[in-house]
Amino acid sequence: MEKSNPLVSICMPAYNAGKYIGEAVRSILEQTYTNWELIIINDGSTDDTAVVLNRFTDPRISIHQQKNSGQCAAANKAFNLSKGRLIKFMDADDMITPGYIAEQVKRVGNSEDAVASAAWGRFYNDDIGTFKLNEEFIKEDCKPIDWLVSSMDGKQAMMQCALWLIPRAVLEKSGLWDERLSLVNDFEFITRVLLQANEIRFAQNAVLYYRSGIGNSLSALTSRRGIESAFTSIYEGTAYMLLYENSPRVRTAVADCLQNFVYAYYPHYPDIMNKAQQRINELGGSKARFPAGGYTKLLNQIIGWKLTQKFKALFGR
């Protein structure tokens, strides 16, 4: 029974997610696959997260409170309370299609070292009607290092935690979330996890609805602590890639990934930007292009990307 219908543990940290978490939980309740447990860690929320969660009475859902300790600590606590052979980490504002878990369970099968991926797209301003499927994700089954290199080819890698269904055996080898990290914490973790797997198997009919445009989300932070976390996560995650395969293609992918970090956060904290640039130079440089559209594309053509970023930082655009 367990092999054909394994328990899936969904681990969900929640901090001030009252506006969104109801939709996230309902998308799990609507799954065609029914052998799951949802472990929610309310990480010291000060909004109505607890009130919203108390409306759910399904016995497969357990809710635990903790003093605010950060997303990584909450995710780790949820995992430590879990019992499933297969694990999904999921943010409190994620939504997934009804057949999502069933498709990923089917793709993992009885393997203890294959991780299932999924399709995804974004929607904006809390309006699911704006959803658009991303067409650039990797649709083939492949080795993890191949997936990582391909996912960084001309774009930012999408590492969002809900994309993956992970055997517990892989997590026991990789280790859990790094509790030092906040911003971009998924990059280091997911890279480390994937490189402990033998294969990534794509679940074509599983689609993640990725919510964009939340102004006060972790991904919007530009504090020094946040940017240091982002740099540490990317630096360490790409270091795992180089340890796994120190080849020209991996060096190029790592350099491009770090260059995209510089593009994203320049001109904040020059010492961090300099560390990233030094690493890029050590790897032989990057040809990654500055991502620009609209007025930034025009500004970049006239004054270059550095002055364009300074302009954006100065005027908050």
CB atoms near residue 88 (< 10 Å): 26
Burial 32-69 (b: 16+ CB within 10 A, else e): ebebbbbbbbbbbbeeebeebbeebeeeebebeeeeeb
User: For residue 295, what pLDDT is reported?
Assistant: 87
What is the pLDDT at residue 222? Answer: 74
d(CA 247, CA 105): 33
Of 166, 32, 170, which is closest to residue 103 (Cα–Cα)? 32
**Residue 5, token pair as written in the block:** 């219908």
Which pLDDT tens digits describe the chain residue by residue (317 residues)? 466 899 999 999 999 999 999 999 999 999 999 999 999 999 999 999 999 999 999 999 999 999 999 999 999 999 999 999 999 999 999 999 999 999 999 999 999 999 999 999 999 989 999 999 998 889 999 999 999 999 998 888 899 999 999 999 999 999 999 999 999 999 999 999 999 999 999 999 999 999 987 654 444 457 999 999 999 999 999 999 999 999 999 999 999 999 999 999 999 999 999 999 999 999 999 999 998 888 889 999 999 999 999 988 887 65
